[in-house]
Amino acid sequence: MKFKALILALSLVSATSFAQEKVKYTKEEKKEMNQYLFNEGFNTASQKKVSTIILKDNNEHQGYAKSWVKQKGQILSITIDDAETGKTMKFDAKDIAEMYLYATETEKSMRAGKFISNMRNYSTKKYSKSVTDDAIPFENQTVSLKNKKESKTFLMQVINPEFNEKITVYHDPFAKETAGFGFAGAPSFGGGVIKSYYVRKGDKVIWLHKDDFEDNYDFLFGDNAAFMKAYPKNSVEWDNFSFLVYKYTDMNEA
DSSP code per residue over 224-240: -HHHHHHS-TTS--GGG
- pLDDT-derived band at 120 (thresholds 50, 70, 90) equals confident
- Say if 133 falls within a structural domain: yes
d(CA 235, CA 199): 21
Helix or strand run (H / E) with residue 80: strand 74-82
pTM score > 0.95 for this model? no
**Helix/strand/coil for 106:** helix
Q: What is the pLDDT of residue 190?
A: 67
DSSP of 109-161: HHHHHHHHTBTTHHHHS-GGGGG--SPEEEEEEEE-GGGTSPPEEEEEEBS-T
Mean pLDDT value across residues 119-129: 90
- pLDDT-derived band at 18 (thresholds 50, 70, 90) equals very low
d(CA 57, CA 35): 39
- Say if 16 falls within a structural domain: no
Range(s) of the domain holding residue 38:
25-253
- Say if 20 falls within a structural domain: no
- Say if 10 falls within a structural domain: no
Counting residues of the chain whose pLDDT is more than 70, the rounded percentage is: 87
Number of domains in the chain: 1
- Say if 149 falls within a structural domain: yes
Residue 13, pLDDT > 70, answer no
- Say if 15 falls within a structural domain: no
- Give the HSE-up count for residue 127: Cα atoms under 13 Å, Cβ half-sphere: 10
Residue 56, pLDDT > 50, answer yes
- Say if 197 falls within a structural domain: yes
- Say if 237 falls within a structural domain: yes
Q: What is the pLDDT of residue 137?
A: 98
Beta bridge partners of 154: 141
- Give the HSE-up count for residue 245: Cα atoms under 13 Å, Cβ half-sphere: 26
Q: What is the pLDDT of residue 118?
A: 85
Q: What is the pLDDT of residue 8?
A: 47
Nearest to 39 by CA among 156, 122, 158, 138: 158
Residue 177, pLDDT > 80, answer yes
The angle subtended at Cα 118 by Cα 173 and Cα 135, nearest 5°, is 45
Residue 185, pLDDT > 90, answer no
